[in-house]
């Protein structure tokens, strides 16, 4: 299913099911104890964003350190591999929903109900902001403790009333802190309305760093050398450019001609540097258009050049990365590589990388135009928030990293 179809399913199917489910849940509560249990086997629910699987890691590590049982995760099958980058959740504890079609989604959702009983899930944390599907998954899991974001007196975005601990979503703090607030609510033995009444310091959202294997390092260097004859990592600094953005929000894309101009400026400024155009294998053709625009042998189409789980190794070998606001900015945060991230319809204040990063953001009056309240769907067809960002602006922003490289 494409993104718009998922939104329609969430709205037209999710709302009536959430209403029916709420009635059933309230009815069941008349005949069962409402006493909360100490969390042991905790299921986190986050379906659609690969980057969020990285941003939530500080919250998951805090949760893991404070429960006696296991962490579990449910995610769309295409995004599951993002959880493997840090390995905080065991691979066998991840349930993958098949989102390829409506029928496949229904079948895998039914199987999910039995999987939760088998794994003895007693608590759920719904990491999605206001999705009805994830609210329903939390309900059918059978968990005694159900934590998530609640709208309270906000209008719209009805998603039923399944939560046993309701957390107020704060749109003025980084989403990583909001995820920690969900964990706080689950671990808190006392009732608060709303959760969570404490200051969450920046020190609690420090990202864990990946451990780079020497064999992987050697393999990735060999792959780069096969793409650029005479490559010497001591002479040729590697700079990454990710010009792709997911279909979830195409308004995030900066124009290919702009990337082309910036890359030419970088190559001209440092005659030893090489540019690797990164991306998934399916993005190879788009990357080739950019490589053809640059027309320099030091600008290499590297889409699909390494396996996904080798990305941390690639990042650790690179000087920095220029990227759209997308998954790679968050994947890179588990290394010490600096990222320069171009923002437009979203804001770095909420979704900035947790690693070394410099956001490039115009901050127009209409930006950010996507949020929890509109399911990240904007009416904008003229993304001036991105278009006003010029190649000179970007080059001058990243120039300090170029100056630190050997010439």
CATH value at residue 114: 3.40.50.2000
Q: Are residues 101 and 232 in the same domain?
A: no
Q: Are residues 77 and 183 in the same domain?
A: yes
Structural domain count of the chain:
2
Euclidean distance between CA atoms 371 and 175, whole angstroms = 11
pLDDT given at position 407:
65
Q: Are residues 308 and 170 in the same domain?
A: no
Residue with tokens 């893991």: 64
Q: Are residues 253 and 132 in the same domain?
A: no
SS3 194: coil
Q: Are residues 136 and 234 in the same domain?
A: no
Within 13 Å, how many C-alpha atoms sit on residue 50's CB side?
A: 21
pLDDT tens digits for range 323-336: 999 889 999 999 99
Asked whether 395 and 267 are in contact (CB, 8 A), the reply is no
pLDDT tens digits for range 272-292: 999 999 999 999 999 999 999
SS3 276: strand
| End residue of a domain, out of 205, 231, 265 | 205
Asked whether 142 and 136 are in contact (CB, 8 A), the reply is no
Q: Are residues 250 and 159 in the same domain?
A: no
Euclidean distance between CA atoms 173 and 51, whole angstroms = 17
Say what the pTM is: 0.91
Exposure string of 210-227, with b = 16+ CB inside 10 Å and e = fewer, is bebeeebbeebbebbeee
Euclidean distance between CA atoms 319 and 166, whole angstroms = 43
Average pLDDT over residues 4-30: 80
Q: Are residues 138 and 168 in the same domain?
A: yes
| End residue of a domain, out of 205, 222, 243 | 205
Average pLDDT over residues 164-175: 93
pLDDT tens digits for range 31-66: 776 677 899 999 999 988 788 889 999 999 999 999
pLDDT given at position 248:
63
Q: Are residues 157 and 225 in the same domain?
A: no
Alpha-carbon distances of 184 from 60, 139, 236, 283, rounded to whole Å? 11, 20, 46, 39
Q: Are residues 238 and 185 in the same domain?
A: no
Euclidean distance between CA atoms 373 and 157, whole angstroms = 7
SS3 96: strand
Average pLDDT over residues 21-39: 79
Q: What is the per-residue DSSP string for 28-78?
A: HHTTS--------SEEEE--S-TTHHHHTHHHHHHHHHT-SS-EEEEEEGG
Q: Are residues 218 and 347 in the same domain?
A: yes
Asked whether 354 and 370 are in contact (CB, 8 A), the reply is no
Joined tokens for residue 155: 């209008």
Q: Are residues 198 and 239 in the same domain?
A: no
Q: Are residues 343 and 223 in the same domain?
A: yes
SS3 122: coil
Helix (DSSP H) and strand (DSSP E) numbers for the chain: 15, 12
Question: In the chain, pLDDT over 90 holds for what percent of residues?
Answer: 68
**For 195, which DSSP code?**
B
**Domain span at residue 377?**
214-403
| End residue of a domain, out of 205, 239, 272 | 205
């Amino acid at each position: 299913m494409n993104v718009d179809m998922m939104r329609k399913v969430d709205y037209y199917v999710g709302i009536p099911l959430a209403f029916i489910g709420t009635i059933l849940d309230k009815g069941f509560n008349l005949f069962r104890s409402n006493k909360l249990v100490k969390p042991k086997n905790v299921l986190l629910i986050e379906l659609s964003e690969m980057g969020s699987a990285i941003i939530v890691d500080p919250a998951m590590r805090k949760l893991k350190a404070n429960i006696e049982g296991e962490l579990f995760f449910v995610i769309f099958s295409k995004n599951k591999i993002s959880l493997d980058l840090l390995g905080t959740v065991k691979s066998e504890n991840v349930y993958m929903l098949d989102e390829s079609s409506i029928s496949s989604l229904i079948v895998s959702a039914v199987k999910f109900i039995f999987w939760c009983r088998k794994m003895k899930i007693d608590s759920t944390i719904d990491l999605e902001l206001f999705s009805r599907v994830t609210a329903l998954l939390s309900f059918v899991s059978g968990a005694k403790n159900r934590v998530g974001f609640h709208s309270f007196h906000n209008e719209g975005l009805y998603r039923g009333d399944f939560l046993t601990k309701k957390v107020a979503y704060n749109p003025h703090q980084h989403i990583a802190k909001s995820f920690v607030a969900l964990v706080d609510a689950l671990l808190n033995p006392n009732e608060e309305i709303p959760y969570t009444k404490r200051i969450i310091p920046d020190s609690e959202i420090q990202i864990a760093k990946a451990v780079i294997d020497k064999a992987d390092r050697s393999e990735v260097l060999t792959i780069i050398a096969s793409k650029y004859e005479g490559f010497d990592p001591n002479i040729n600094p590697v700079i990454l450019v990710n010009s792709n953005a997911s279909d979830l929000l195409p308004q995030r894309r900066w124009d290919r001609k702009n990337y082309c101009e910036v890359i030419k400026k970088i190559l001209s400024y440092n005659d030893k540097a090489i540019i690797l155009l990164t991306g998934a294998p399916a993005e190879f053709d788009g990357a080739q258009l950019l490589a053809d625009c640059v027309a320099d042998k030091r600008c290499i189409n590297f889409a699909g050049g390494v396996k996904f789980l080798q990305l941390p190794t690639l990042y650790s070998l690179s000087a920095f990365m220029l990227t759209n606001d997308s998954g790679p900015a968050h994947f890179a945060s588990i290394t010490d590589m600096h990222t320069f991230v171009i923002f437009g319809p979203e804001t770095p204040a909420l979704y900035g990388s947790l690693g070394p990063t410099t956001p490039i953001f115009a901050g127009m009056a209409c930006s950010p135009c996507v949020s929890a309240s509109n399911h990240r769907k904007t009416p904008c067809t003229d993304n001036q928030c991105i278009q006003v960002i010029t190649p000179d602006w970007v080059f001058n922003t990243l120039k300090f990293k170029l100056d630190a490289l050997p010439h």
